[in-house]
DNA sequence: CGTGTTTGCCAACACTCGTTGGCCTACACT
DNA sequence: AGTGTAGGCCAACGAGTGTTGGCAAACACG
C-alpha cells in the first residue's frame, strides 16, 4: 500500500516513456512492449502499475492546462496573453508532449476525443468569462485557430509553420483570436 | 487484363468501403477484414485488387482538391470564395469523406502526413498566386485556420462548431483568411 | 460446346498485440 | 535472523492482424 521510493521511480519512468510513445506514434501504434522497453522494465509491470493500456493512457493525458484568468485583463491584452500562454504550454519542457498526446490520440481514439471535449468545456470555456452560450461559441472559434496551428506545427509539421518563431506566430494569430473574442457573432 | 464490368463494380465497392472505414477509424484501426465485409466480399480480394493495405490506402486518399483560381478574382472576394469552396469540398457528397481520411490518417501515419504536405504544396500553395516564399507562408497560415476548423468540426466534433451552419462559419472565418492573405507578415 | 481466364471463397500461415499467472529476488520490519 | 510483502522477469495464452496459395464457380470467346 505504501509507495516505496523505487516503485515511484519506475512509475514515473513508465509514464514518461508512455507520453513519448503516445505522442510519437498515437494510441494504436504505441505498444505496451515498446513503452516498457523504453522504461527499461518488463511489459507486465506496466499492467501491474496502470491496470491496462487504457489506464496508462488516461494517466498519460491527465493534464492541467493551467490557463490564466484572462477575464481580469483589459480586453486588448487578452488575445495576446492567450496565444502566448498556448505556445508556452506546447513548447514548455514541463508538459513534455502531453498536449501532443492528447491531440494526436483524440483523433483516432473516441475516448480521447471525449476527454478533449471535456478539457475544452471545463477549462477553456470557463476561463474566457461567464459560460454563456455566446461565450462558448467564441471560445470554440478560438480553439479552431489554436488547435489548427498546433496541428500544422507539431503534428503535420508544415515547413512554413515550423519555420516561424513563436513571436511571429503570436503576431499573426493574436488579431484573429481578438476578433473571435470581440466581434459580434 | 481488360476490366470487366463486374470487377470494376467490386473495385469501387472496396474503395467506397475503405474510405468510410479509414475516415471513421483511422488507418490503424480500419481492418482489411472489416472493409471487405462492408463491401460484401472476401478479404483476399482486397489484396488482389490493391496489392496491400498501403496500396488501398494510397488509392483511398488520391484526391483532387479542384481549387478555384482565386488569383483571377478581385482581392476582396478571394477569402470568401476559398472558405466557401473549402466547406463545399468537405461536406460535398462526391468526395465522400476523402478529406476526412486524409486528415485523420495524416495524424497517425507519417506517409499520409507527407502526402498531405505534398497536396498542400502542390495544390494549395500554387493556386494562391505565384509561389514566392511570402505566398507560401500566407497559404500556410490560411491552412492553419481551415484545417483547424475541419479538425474541430469533422473529427473532434466540438459541439459549438458542429452546431454552426456553414454560412455562419464562412462569415466568421472569411475575415481571418482575408487578413492572412493581405496583412503584411 | 469446350477451354482458358477471371472472380471469388476458404483455410491457413506468420506475426504482433494486450494481458495473465507463476516464480524468483530484494527489501522492510519485528 | 526470520518472515512477509512488494518489485521484477519469464513464458505463455488467446485474440486479431495482414497476407498467401489453392481450389470451385462464373464468365468470355473461339
Both B104 and B139 in one domain: the answer is yes
Residue B92 inside a domain? The answer is: yes
Is residue A21 a part of any domain in this protein? yes
Nearest-angstrom CA–CA distance, B7 and A54: 42
Q: Is the CB of residue A41 less than 8 Å from the CB of residue A10?
A: yes
Q: Which residues have C-beta within 8 Å of that of residue B138, sequence separation ≥ 6?
A: B128, B180, B181, B185
* B117 shares a domain with B49: no
Which of A27-41, A168-182, B27-41, B101-115 has the least mean pLDDT? B101-115
Chain A residue numbers with beta carbons less than 8 Å from the beta carbon of B28 are 26, 28-29, 108
Do B46 and B80 fall into the same domain? no
Angle of CA points B179, B148, A115, to nearest 5°? 145
Which pLDDT score, from 0 to 100, does residue A185 have? 67
Q: Would you state the pLDDT for residue A7?
A: 83
Q: Which residues of B29-57 are buried (b: 16+ CB within 10 A; e: fewer)?
A: ebebebbbeebebeeebbeebbeebeebb
On whether residue B65 sits in a domain, the answer given is no
Question: Across the interface, do B161 and A140 touch by the CB < 8 Å criterion?
Answer: yes
Residues B51 and B142 reside in one and the same domain: no
**What's the grid cell of residue A96?**
513534455
The pLDDT of residue A73: 84
Going by C-beta distance under 8 Å and a sequence separation of 6 or more, which residues neighbour residue B93? Answer: none
Query: Does residue B31 form part of some domain?
Result: yes
Any domain includes A131 = yes
| CATH number of domain containing A108 | 1.10.357
Q: How many domains does chain A have?
A: 2
Q: What is the pLDDT of residue B1?
A: 47
Q: A6 CA, D1 C1': separation in Å?
A: 25
Domain coverage including residue A81: 70-182
Q: Within a domain: residue B24?
A: yes
Domain match, A115 and A171 both: yes
Decide if A97 contacts A145 (C-beta within 8 A).
no
A65 found inside a domain: no
Highest averaged pLDDT of the listed ranges A1-10, A121-130, B56-65, B175-184: B175-184
Residues B45 and B106 in one domain: no
CA of B18 to nearest chain A CA: how many angstroms apart? 16
pLDDT of residue B94: 64
pLDDT score of B10: 95
The full 3-state SS of A143-161, as one line of letters, equals: HHHHHHHHHHHHHCCCHHH
Residues A90 and A143 in one domain: yes
Of chain B, the end-to-end C-alpha distance in Å amounts to: 55
Instruction: Tell me: do A46 and A82 sit in the same domain.
Output: no
Across A157-185, average pLDDT: 94
Q: pLDDT averaged over consecutive 10-residue blocks of chain B (185 residues)?
A: 71 96 92 98 97 95 81 87 94 78 83 80 72 87 96 92 96 97 82
Closest CB to A108 among B29, B158, B176: B29
Shared-domain flag, residues A81 and A130: yes
Q: Report CB contact under 8 Å: A113, B157.
A: yes
Mean pLDDT score, A39-43: 97
CA angle A144, A86, A84 (to 5 degrees): 115
- Last residue of one domain, picked from the residues B19, B35, B60: B60
A26-50 core/surface letters (b: 16 or more CB in 10 A; e: else): bbeebebebbbeebebeeebbeebb
Neighboring chain A residues of B118 at a CB cutoff of 8 Å: none
Same domain, yes or no, for A99 and A143?
yes
- Chain A residue with Cα closest to B147: A148
- CATH number for A18: 1.10.10.60
Q: Using one digit for the tens of pLDDT, what is the confidence trace for B130-181?
A: 678 888 899 999 999 999 999 999 999 999 999 999 999 999 999 999 999 9
- Across the interface, of B26, B136, B164, the residue whose CB is closest to A107 is B26
Sole residue written with cell 519512468: A13
Rounded average pLDDT over A82-109: 84
Indicate the pLDDT class of residue A1, thresholds 50, 70 and 90.
Answer: very low
Q: Verify that B52 and B76 share a domain, yes or no.
A: no
For cell 486524409, what's the residue? B102
Give the C-alpha separation, B103 to A84, whole Å. 26
Residue A20 and residue A103 share a domain: no
Q: Judge whether A131 is closer than 8 Å to chain B, CB to CB.
A: no
pLDDT digits (tens, 9 = 90+) for A54-95: 999 999 988 777 777 777 888 889 999 999 999 999 998 666
* Structural domain includes residue B106: yes
Amino acid at each position: 500500500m505504501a509507495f516505496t521510493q523505487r516503485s515511484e521511480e519506475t512509475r514515473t519512468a513508465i509514464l514518461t516513456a508512455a507520453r513519448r510513445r503516445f505522442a510519437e506514434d498515437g494510441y494504436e501504434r504505441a505498444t505496451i512492449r515498446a513503452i516498457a522497453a523504453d522504461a527499461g522494465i518488463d511489459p507486465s509491470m506496466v499492467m501491474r502499475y496502470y491496470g491496462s493500456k487504457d489506464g496508462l493512457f488516461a494517466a498519460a493525458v491527465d493534464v492541467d492546462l493551467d490557463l490564466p484568468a484572462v477575464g481580469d485583463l483589459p480586453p486588448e491584452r487578452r488575445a495576446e496573453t492567450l496565444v502566448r500562454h498556448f505556445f508556452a504550454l506546447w513548447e514548455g519542457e514541463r508538459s513534455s508532449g502531453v498536449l501532443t498526446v492528447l491531440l494526436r490520440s483524440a483523433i483516432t481514439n473516441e475516448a480521447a476525443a471525449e476527454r478533449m471535449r471535456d478539457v475544452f468545456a471545463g477549462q477553456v470555456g470557463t476561463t474566457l468569462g461567464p459560460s454563456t452560450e455566446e461565450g462558448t461559441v467564441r471560445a470554440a472559434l478560438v480553439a479552431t485557430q489554436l488547435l489548427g496551428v498546433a496541428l500544422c506545427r507539431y503534428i503535420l509539421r508544415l515547413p512554413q509553420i515550423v519555420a516561424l518563431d513563436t513571436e511571429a506566430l503570436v503576431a499573426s494569430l493574436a488579431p484573429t483570436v481578438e476578433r473571435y473574442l470581440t466581434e459580434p457573432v
